[in-house]
């Protein structure tokens, strides 16, 4: 729609610069280039360009790549916290830490910076000396934003529990979640490894189903038993299954 409007009417609102930085009118300028318009109305503003950029674009979310770019350009410690907050983010110590790292690390492309939501970057800010390795790995990991958020939270737990892996796992985010879950909850997964084979369908009598809480927060077993006139023995079989599980899996 903007392209068609400019094609028909031209650029009605000038783009704005401040100290050589384009602070407003990026889409208008991009449309003008597509339409090969060479004379573009513009105005020069006076002020701090990074702050003007955020004020003139506050109608939309600011991407991580934009925020990092503004902080790099400013390079003013006095403006650091103010720019973060004006961009709509909370300047927590962890978010500040990851931003300081990203400012210095120019290897990340804008698409990579924007591939992780701000809350995921904030989680990575908890990792201290593991931050660099985890960030480079996570931006390239295949998976949804929700999965990567969970991965980042699990990475934080591996640091807290001193269970950091020797190598970052291959595969996608879902596979990484499984790996890190085992690292941060080894007892639970050892219990699951013992329990699940015992509850395999081929190990249960016909007409008997067993459910349990895989987090082990709620103890016990739930039995579903279909009983007919000639299958009352299933009660006894269910009791034997429960006794064996309780004796071998103390988490239940």
* Domains defined along the chain, listed by start: 1-60 (3.90.1530), 63-184 (no CATH), 194-248 (no CATH)
Is residue 217 pLDDT above 90, yes or no?
Answer: no
Q: Using the structure block, give the residue that is written with the tokens 């929700």.
A: 146
Q: What percent of the chain has pLDDT over 90?
A: 69
Name the burial class of residue 117, with classes exposed (0-12), middle (13-18) and buried (19+) by CB atoms within 10 angstroms of its CB.
Answer: middle
| Residue 120: band (very low, low, confident or very high) from pLDDT cuts 50, 70, 90 | very high
- List 211's β-bridge partners, or say none: 222
> In the predicted model, what is the mean pLDDT of the chain?
92
Rounded mean pLDDT, 11-22: 91
- pTM for the full model? 0.75
Is residue 39 pLDDT above 90, yes or no?
Answer: no
Tell me the per-residue pLDDT of 127-147, one tens digit each, with 9 for 90 and over.
999 999 999 999 999 999 999
pLDDT at position 148 is 94
CA distance 242 to 210: 9
Is residue 187 pLDDT above 90, yes or no?
Answer: no
Phi, psi angle pair for 47, to nearest 5°: 150, -160
| Residue 35: band (very low, low, confident or very high) from pLDDT cuts 50, 70, 90 | confident
CB 221 within 8 Å of CB 245 = yes
Rounded mean pLDDT, 60-88: 95
pLDDT at position 138 is 96
pLDDT at position 218 is 87
CA distance 182 to 1: 51
Is residue 157 pLDDT above 90, yes or no?
Answer: yes
Is residue 216 pLDDT above 90, yes or no?
Answer: no
């Amino acid at each position: 729609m903007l392209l068609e409007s400019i094609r028909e009417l031209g650029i009605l609102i000038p783009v704005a610069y401040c100290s050589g930085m384009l602070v407003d009118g990026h889409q208008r300028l991009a449309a003008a280039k597509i339409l090969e318009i060479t004379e573009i109305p513009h105005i020069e503003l006076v002020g701090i360009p990074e702050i003007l950029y955020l004020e003139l674009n506050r109608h939309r979310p600011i991407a991580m790549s934009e925020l990092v770019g503004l902080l790099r350009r400013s390079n003013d410690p006095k403006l650091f916290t103010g720019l973060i907050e004006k961009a709509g983010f909370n300047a927590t110590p962890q978010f500040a830490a990851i931003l300081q790292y990203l400012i210095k690390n120019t290897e990340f492309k804008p698409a990579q910076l924007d591939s992780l939501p701000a809350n995921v970057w904030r989680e990575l800010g908890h990792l201290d000396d593991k931050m660099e390795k985890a960030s480079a790995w996570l931006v390239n990991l295949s998976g949804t934003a929700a999965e990567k958020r969970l991965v980042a939270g699990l990475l934080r737990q591996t640091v807290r529990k001193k269970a950091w892996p020797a190598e970052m796992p291959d595969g996608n985010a879902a596979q990484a979640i499984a790996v890190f879950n085992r690292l941060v909850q080894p007892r639970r997964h050892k219990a699951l490894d013992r329990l699940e084979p015992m509850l395999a369908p081929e190990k249960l009598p016909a007409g008997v189903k067993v459910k349990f809480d895989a987090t082990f927060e709620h103890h016990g077993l739930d039995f579903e038993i279909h009983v007919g006139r000639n299958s009352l023995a299933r009660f006894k079989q269910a009791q034997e299954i429960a006794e064996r599980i309780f004796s071998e899996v103390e988490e239940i």
